[in-house]
Amino acid sequence: MASKHKTAFVGERLDSLEKNDLYRRMRTVVVKGPTAMVDGKETIHLCSNDYLGLSRNRQVIKKAVEALHEVSQCSSRLIAGNHPKIMKLEGLLADHRRTESALVYPTGYSANLGAVTAIAHKNSTIFSDELNHASIIDACRLSGATIQVFRHNDTNHLHELIHQTKGCKIVITEGIFSMDGDTARLQEISTIAKENDAITVVDDAHGDFIFGPGFSGVPAEFKADVDIHISSMSKGLGCFGGYVATAEPVSELLINTSRQFIYTSALPGHLCSAAIAAIPLAKRGNLQKKLYRNIGYFTNAMKKLGFVLGGSSSQIIPVMIGPEKLAVEFSKELLRQGVFVQAIRYPTVRKGSARLRVSLTAMHVQKHLDAAAGAFEKVGRKTGVL
């Protein structure tokens, strides 16, 4: 019989999470665009990353289905997985980010791990914004580099730290911060990096296809000099996969040394076809116009009600709550009212800074936003947040 002692820590850890209001449970979600069935209940969906609604676009779906000759090539890129569609997609992504080349990874998470671990090593120092996404934090740790965390978007602090450091230096930040929705001070950050001979890396998962000229992301918006662009295709583009856009030699280094690129199966061809179809649609600008309108409308309504929204400048709008327990209760009550918003807690954000992370899409129309704000008001009064 198996010893109970061997796995006693499992129960202890779960009990501790429960006690601290940090236990996570999955809900079953069937997305229907701006709405979703959540555990069988019809809701307004306010936690989608499909910011432009392209995952449901008929043309995109048609192209993916037409390309569906096999589910996957069941092989890594360097063995037998390098479908011509991936090469075509990489060309389009490089044009989009205005870089010499782009390399597709199976996810944005693996793109972060793959790029950072290939360029950083134990003699490097990485300067990382304190609010960077978990995938960046994991990438930095895995690289074995020395990690210096600078205060969020604080360019004085970055300058202070980088100035005193010798050797290979890398500065890494998000473009739009995933849990706060604010924008990195990229122009200053990239200038400081340049002056200190550091490589600039930007994970633009939430700014890509949403901001900047040609919707090519936050670095282009600020004319920031960025060496390595990392992004996800499962957000603004409404598809799947991740990519790294950079100079040709850096891509070659990744192909040759990035373990998350080499030792994993390639993104299936039909998903590349979907992304190839989605890119020109994302560049037309009509969907962003709707999205920006929704951001302005909802932000105003929530501010008028008295909610504290954090420093968002994007489609990600954190409604600040504070205590973890209250945020979870608020989210559950919103669900009862037919509004689906996730409570974001430690360790994703700092302890005591739990929030409801609203993300808006171009698919929402005024009636969704009015109903959502109405539900927020009702629950805000009931829970004492307002």
Ligand X SMILES: Cc1ncc(COP(=O)(O)O)c(C=O)c1O
Binding mask 135-174 toward ligand X (x if CB under 6 A, else -) reads: x--------------------------------------x
Verify binding: residue 342, ligand X, rule CB under 6 A.
no
Helix, strand, coil percent content, the chain, rounded in steps of 5? 45, 20, 35
**Nearest residue by C-beta to ligand X?**
108
Verify binding: residue 73, ligand X, rule CB under 6 A.
no
Q: Nearest distance from residue 90's CB to ligand X, in Å?
A: 16
Phi, psi of 92 (to 5 degrees): -65, -40
Phi, psi of 90 (to 5 degrees): -65, -35
Contact predicate 135/203, CB 8 Å: yes
Verify binding: residue 109, ligand X, rule CB under 6 A.
yes
Q: Pick from 101, 173, 190, 232: which binds ligand X (CB under 6 A)?
A: 232
Verify binding: residue 261, ligand X, rule CB under 6 A.
no
Q: Which of 208, 249, 267, 266 is nearest to 119 (CA)?
A: 249
| 9, two tokens | 């820590």
Verify binding: residue 108, ligand X, rule CB under 6 A.
yes
Q: Which is nearer to ligand X, 360 or 373 (CB)?
A: 360
Name every residue whose Cβ is closer than 8 Å to that of residue 201 and which is 6 or more positions away in sequence: 115, 116, 119, 170, 171, 172, 173, 226, 227, 228, 230
Verify binding: residue 182, ligand X, rule CB under 6 A.
no
Verify binding: residue 113, ligand X, rule CB under 6 A.
no
- Which segment (102-110, 138-146, 268-276, 302-310) binds ligand X by CB under 6 A? 102-110
Q: Which is nearer to ligand X, 81 or 175 (CB)?
A: 175
Alpha carbon distance 335, 212 (integer Å) = 34
- Which segment (64-72, 108-116, 306-314, 349-357) binds ligand X by CB under 6 A? 108-116
Verify binding: residue 129, ligand X, rule CB under 6 A.
no
- Which segment (18-26, 39-47, 76-84, 101-109) binds ligand X by CB under 6 A? 101-109
Verify binding: residue 316, ligand X, rule CB under 6 A.
no
Alpha carbon distance 185, 79 (integer Å) = 41
Identity at 214, one-letter amino acid code: G
Q: Which of 216, 186, 258 is nearest to 93 (CA)?
A: 216
Interface with ligand X by CB under 6 A: which residues? 107-109, 112, 133, 135, 174, 178, 203, 205, 232, 234, 242
